[in-house]
């Protein structure tokens, strides 16, 4: 679980309980429970919206909103969901 992040929203994942669930009830290793449930994405929001949301947390890590936005953009560009073109 080291350095694992939800491949949809970027939330750090530290335990299996935070992972989403597949249609067959098994654990999905790529996405968190807040993004993925019963084999489907819960929030149908675009990557830009996720990045906007993500930038709100800049304060917590000592970055300005703009810096956080850049950081998130970079982070999201590596995500599996991005690779698979799953963002709406």
- Give the binding site for Zn ion (CB under 5 A): 6, 8-9, 11, 32, 35
Q: Do 76 and 10 form a contact (C-beta atoms < 8 A)?
A: yes
Q: Closer CB to Zn ion, residue 64 or residue 84? A: 84
Rounded to 5 degrees, φ, ψ at 9 are: -110, -15
Which two three-digit tokens encode residue 42?
A: 């819960």
Q: How far is the CB of 72 from Zn ion (least distance, A)?
A: 13
Task: Check: CB of residue 7 under 8 Å from CB of residue 79.
Answer: yes
Residue 52: which of 6, 4, 10 has the closest Cα? 10
Nearer to Zn ion among residue 23 and residue 66 (C-beta): 23
Question: What minimum distance in Å lies between the beta carbon of 27 and Zn ion?
Answer: 14
Which of residues 9 and 72 has its CB atom nearest to Zn ion in the complex?
9
Minimum distance of Zn ion from residue 78's CB (angstroms): 14
CB of 34 to Zn ion, least distance (A): 5
Q: Which residue, among 87, 80, 69, has the nearest Cα to 31 in the 3D structure?
A: 80
């Amino acid at each position: 679980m080291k350095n694992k992040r939800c491949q949809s929203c970027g939330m750090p994942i530290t335990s299996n309980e935070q992972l989403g669930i597949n249609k067959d009830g098994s654990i999905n290793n790529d996405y968190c429970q807040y993004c993925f449930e019963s084999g489907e994405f819960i929030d149908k929001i675009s990557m830009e919206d996720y990045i906007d949301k993500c930038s709100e947390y800049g304060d917590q890590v000592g970055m300005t909103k703009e810096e956080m936005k850049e950081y998130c953009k970079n982070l999201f560009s590596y995500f599996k969901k991005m690779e698979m073109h799953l963002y709406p």
